[in-house]
Amino acid sequence: DAGVIQSPRHEVTEMGQEVTLRCKPISGHDYLFWYRQTMMRGLELLIYFNNNVPIDDSGMPEDRFSAKMPNASFSTLKIQPSEPRDSAVYFCASSLDRVNTEAFFGQGTRLTVV
Amino acid sequence: DQQVKQNSPSLSVQEGRISILNCDYTNSMFDYFLWYKKYPAEGPTFLISISSIKDKNEDGRFTVFLNKSAKHLSLHIVPSQPGDSAVYFCAARGGWEYGNKLVFGAGTILRVKS
């Protein structure tokens, strides 16, 4: 397996625009996580899914953020409208099941909102 | 409310010496702890873990110690090598009622000088 695949690797957008980040988890993994990394807060969990169902979205900062997982092999994180303070590296990760907790991370998407 | 804290933003160690990275947590329901390593422009990668029923786990040069009464864990790297220079994240997982999400600390930058 190629691991967790995220796209794009880099995204530069203007304030107010919609941004969509994409993730393909490792095949067979039941859990998918979206994290955001900032200098101030480190790795923050935004939302996670179990078997495509959102379980906990308490980390989503505002209503401007939304995430979907239409099937087991694809998830999106959308920001609409984007703001400069959303600039960060966004990581997607997946894990096999609850027992095998080790989460495998993608390479991340570096988002810059100008 | 940061439930996992890494109070040292950075650590500098001479090659061949021991590196000790520390992590404190506040939630007594955490039952599993992990350390991740992150190189620039890459996603975090799993390094070592420990269950709350143990107090030590060793894997080659890496050893994790858990002190449940103090809610403290540490990662020891012996001997330290220049290739160990990276950001190290401590993570914790809650019990069944907490789901399978991992809560991360803010990270510690380790620099190993040759």
* Nearest-CA distance B114 → chain A (Å): 27
B36-B37-B40 Cα angle (round to 5): 135
Paired tokens of A74? 């694809």
Is it the case that residue A98 has pLDDT exceeding 70? no
pLDDT, tens only, A7-26: 999 999 999 999 999 999 99
CA distances from B76 to A39, B47, B72 (A): 24, 12, 13
**Cβ-nearest to A101 among B93, B105, B106:** B93
- What tens digit of pLDDT does each residue of B35-61 get? 999 999 899 999 999 999 999 999 999
Whole-angstrom distance, CA of residue A70 vs CA of residue A17: 23
Rounded Cα distance between A70 and A38, Å, is 28
A90 interfacial to chain B (CB closer than 8 Å): no
The pLDDT-based confidence of B1 (bands split at 50, 70, 90) is low
One-letter amino acid of B62: F
Residues of A in contact with B6 (CB under 8 A): 42
| CB B63 within 8 Å of CB B7 | no
Best probe of the A interface among B1, B93, B101, B103, by most A CBs < 10 A, is B101
Bridge partners, A42 (sequence order): A38
| DSSP letter string, B36-90 | EEE-TTS--EEEEEEETT-SEEEETTEEEEEETTTTEEEEEESS--GGG-EEEEE
- pLDDT(B103) > 90: no
Q: Give the distance from residue A47's alpha carbon to the nearest chain B alpha carbon, in angstroms.
A: 9
Q: Which two tokens stand for residue A111?
A: 């988002």
Quote the mean pLDDT of chain B. Answer: 93
Instruction: Give the model confidence (pLDDT) of A34-84 as tens digits.
Output: 999 988 788 999 999 999 999 889 899 889 999 999 999 999 999 999 999
**Per-residue confidence (pLDDT) for residue A90, from 0 to 100:** 98
B89-100 pLDDT, tens digit each: 999 987 666 666
| Cα dihedral sign, A34-A37-A41-A42 | positive
Q: Which of A4, A45, A93 sits opposite B103 (nearest CB)?
A: A45
For chain B, what is the total number of helices (H) and then of strands (E)?
A: 0, 11
Q: List, in sequence order, every residue forming a beta bridge with A22; answer none if it has no partner.
A: A7, A76
Chain A residues touching residue B107 (CB < 8 angstroms):
42-43
pLDDT at position A47:
94
- A63 Cβ partners below 8 Å, 6+ apart? none
Q: A107 near A24, Cβ under 8 Å? A: no
Spell out which residues of chain A touch residue B36, defining contact as CB-CB under 8 Å: 105
pLDDT score recorded for residue B94: 78
User: Higher pLDDT residue, B111 or B29?
Assistant: B111
